[in-house]
Amino acid sequence: MTDVVGRTAILTDSTADIPIDQAEAYGVTVVPAVLTVEGRSYIDGVGMTRAELYRRLPELREPPTTAAPSPVEFEKAYAGLLAAGCERILSMHVSSKLSGMVSIAAQAARRFGDRVRVFDSGQVSLGLGFQVIEAAGAALANLPFEAILAAAQKARERVRLIAMINTLEYIRRSGRVSWLRANLGELLHIKLLIELVDGVVNRLDRVRTRHKALDELRGLVMSWGPLERVAVLHTAIPEEAAAFAEWLRQLSRNPPIIADVTTIIGAHVGEGSIGVAALRR
């Protein structure tokens, strides 16, 4: 748990993919999600590395599962922040249409009345993370709680997230994208471009080659106009992600973040996927 800096504390979950140094700098508390592989559960980021997960994925008979922390874990985090001196908590989480995180956080928050407000980002990874950072910046400035909430809401409207899914096998296994189950036959052996909008995964395009998919990603990002923040999201392809980030540098006021996404996300998309999250100006 980070030190409380202002009257309002910002809390999120590990699917936000905020780099540790930035979470600490902004005073953001991160509660880890849970990954279960072959009956064994791991706290996100502890005990199961990304490299090990991707190595084992193809041979697993049952797909990994992911889960939100228990209400007790959220209650402990909320109680700790309030005991440390903050007056209010804004608890910001992965889309409620993709996870039960918001519901469980809200269940825990009821114990604390209006001191804890749960916020549905409608996003994942740094689509969520950038909203958290904007809210945390407002909290560091000791703005009133309603102004901090407004900063989060404005960021939610300005965030964009798109990705190229390298293989559809793992996202199919997850069962979280209903239209993918219905169209799997026609989508085999292609690269799928998707966008997350209001918590829903939408299909943008399907292309035959990785090269063309990356070109389309670049074109879509350029159509967003000037950017305040941008991040490259990837699963175990650091060199390709670094090259993509270098290209993105010209479009953003802040340096690009490169995020090898949490195992909680990687379990559903598999190795070799790449995406972009951005906060438009």
pLDDT for the residue 122? 97
Q: What is the pTM of this model?
A: 0.90
Same domain, 183 and 209: yes
Whether residues 140 and 216 share a domain: the answer is no
CA distance 113 to 115: 5
pLDDT tens sequence for the chain (281 residues): 555 456 999 999 999 999 999 999 999 999 999 999 988 999 988 888 888 888 888 888 888 889 999 999 999 999 999 999 999 999 999 999 999 999 999 999 999 999 999 999 999 999 999 999 999 999 999 999 999 999 999 999 999 999 998 877 666 665 555 545 545 544 556 788 999 998 888 888 888 788 898 999 999 999 999 999 999 999 999 999 999 999 999 999 999 999 999 999 888 888 899 999 999 99
Other CB atoms within 10 A of residue 5 CB: 18
The long-range contacts involving 216-225, CB below 8 angstroms and separated by at least 24 positions, are 217/162, 217/164, 217/193, 217/244, 217/274, 217/275, 217/276, 218/247, 220/162, 220/193, 221/162, 221/248, 221/251, 221/276, 221/278, 222/251, 224/160, 224/278, 224/280, 225/280, 225/281
Residue span of the structural domain in which 242 resides: 159-280
Among the candidates 156, 178, 197, a domain finishes at: 156
Q: Please report, for the domain that includes residue 73, its CATH number.
A: 3.40.50.10170
- Per the listing, tokens 């102004």 go with 147
Domain match, 151 and 261 both: no
Indicate whether 152 and 163 sit together in one domain.
no
Whether residues 106 and 224 fall in one domain: no
Do 208 and 146 belong together in one domain? Answer: no
Question: Does residue 185 share a domain with residue 138?
Answer: no
In whole angstroms, what is the distance from residue 87 CA to residue 81 CA? 9
Return the percent helix, strand and coil in the chain, to nearest 5: 45, 25, 30
- Nearest 5°: phi and psi at 78? -60, -45
**Could you tell me if 237 and 119 lie in one domain?**
no
pLDDT at 179: 46
Task: For residues 93 and 14, state if they share a domain.
Answer: yes
Pairing of strands 200-207, 191-197: antiparallel
